[in-house]
Structure 1
Amino acid sequence: MSERKVLNKYYPPDFDPCKIPKLKLPKDRQYVVRLMAPFNMRCKTCGEYIYKGKKFNARKETVMNELYMGLPIFRFYIKCTRCLAEITFKTDPENTDYAMEHGATRNFQAEKLLEEEEKRIVQDREEEELNNPMKVLENRTKDSKMEMEVLENLQELKELNQRQAQVDFEGMIDRYSDFEKREKEREKEEDERETKEMLDRALVKRLRDSDSDSEKEEEDSSGSQAKKPSTDKPTDILTTLKPTEALGSSAGGVKKAKVETWERSVGTLGGKGALGLLVVRKKPAATFLKPRPVAAASAPTSQTDSKASTTDSKNASKPVTTQNGSSSLSLLGAYSDSDSNDSE
């Protein structure tokens, strides 16, 4: 089985490589390569920023008559992404970097400038020391002073580290945490005390308001009771009087029992209840005194007559009552009941 890709070529027996013509190409010929921007740059034509790492299809060529320790230097051509202006930069093997040539400006790089400044200072110092031995001595004294200062600073740093090493950081943290807990407890107690005081003030105010409301209600109820009689039960309208002890010698025990049953069921009409206000009492009839014979009497008899006349006038103004103290109107029902019973 033959190979898929034939790598071996057939050379005929009469093959002579010297007879092959050499292809002559220019040394500064250009190749198309794919590369990335080696640094941040800005186009001079349109001001477009081209950042490091941007990919381009560039043309590469070898710089003629420029070598660094036998190493060739290459130049690259790219185009701006906005205005298509040509930008060129080349390799810098001396500084292991790239150098900007044309079409753009390299953005500021502090690190590179600092390195260049340090190199320049070192070169100037070496040049001075070569021609001036006193300068060498001055530089050595400055270096020794600098070393002494550095050692002193190191010693101070060591002492500070030792002091900090003796400090108990865990204990400090524990004390601080305890202090925070106490502060939180104190704040909590203050909040509770304030809320308790506020609740007490609100309770006192509520009690005062309730007392004032109850006083007003009592005053209103007392006024309403004075205006309207209270009626707890429907039968309270009919007020009762005390049962009579005796109606007289002629009525007997039967009439007394009938009066008691009437008073228990209906009540007396001469009481001070609601029906008592509706019943109008009969005015007592005027009593006429019989004329007494005028006789010659002494002063004491005249005094007794005057007293009797005053008592008779007082009795005439009062309503006629029975022996047990009840009025005649209160016995009206009893008399009517007795008549009905007698007729039966």
Structure 2
Amino acid sequence: MSERKVLNKYYPPDFDPSKIPRMKLPKNRQYTVRLMAPFNMKCKTCGEYIYKGKKFNARKEDVENEDYLGIRIYRFYIKCTRCLQEISFKTDPRNTDYEIEAGATRNFMALKLAEEQAIREEEEAREEEASNPMKLLENRTKQSKNEIELLESLEELKDLNRRQEAVDYDSMLLAYDPTISEREREEKMQQMDDEYIKTIKFHSADKRKLVVEEEIIEEDAPAAKIPKAEVVKDVKSRSVPVVKKSIGGPTSSRKMLAGLVKVKKDEPKKEKEAVKPESSSLRLLGAYSDSETSD
């Protein structure tokens, strides 16, 4: 079974290619090709927009007496999809692009025009430098000035980097342990802050005050509450007791005084008890004397 797509043809031994009849065709004849619109364009006749990538059956021909470094330039003819106006454009191998010729205007050409303008200005500057030596000298002085400014800015950046070398980022990264949770890290930071606050000694330049608590114990009034007094000692002045009064009013002050003053209540009772036996003995003696006289 022979192949369906045969690449090698069979030529018989008596084949003579000169006997094949050839048609006389024009030198620059047109070919029908299938292509897509290479850019966005707008028809000049009806204003129809033709977007990039729209497919057309176009006619292709060679541009006579035009080439770029031996590369052929081709021209294409298409028709507007609305009014059937003929639109022509050709290839531009110098800029690797296409150039519109007739029938439509190209859209979004701002970037291309800007690039062309920049290239044109650059070429004009080169030509001016080649023809004018003073302009060349001015450009060289500007270039040297810009280089000096760049070197100065580079030195400033180096100085900033030297200042930041004191920070040891490696040790900081090593101290950071990703296994520790955020809560443990916060607790550790809080503990460090508390330790730092304890090391700081708060003191005034003129005076220093100390607060001492004193307790007064009541012997005879155990039911009363034990008041507390604060003594404020000053370095320059003597100690002055300051008694804090409770909210109870006058009764609380009496209880405090009762705790400070002791009343002796046992002595008069003893005197009375000593007097009573003497009086009873005198009465007995009188009764005994009366009995003797009567006898």
TM-score by length of 1: 0.43
User: Looking at CA atoms only, which structure, 1 or 2, has the larger radius of gyration?
Assistant: 1
Higher strand share: 2
TM-score by length of 2: 0.49
Higher helix share: 1
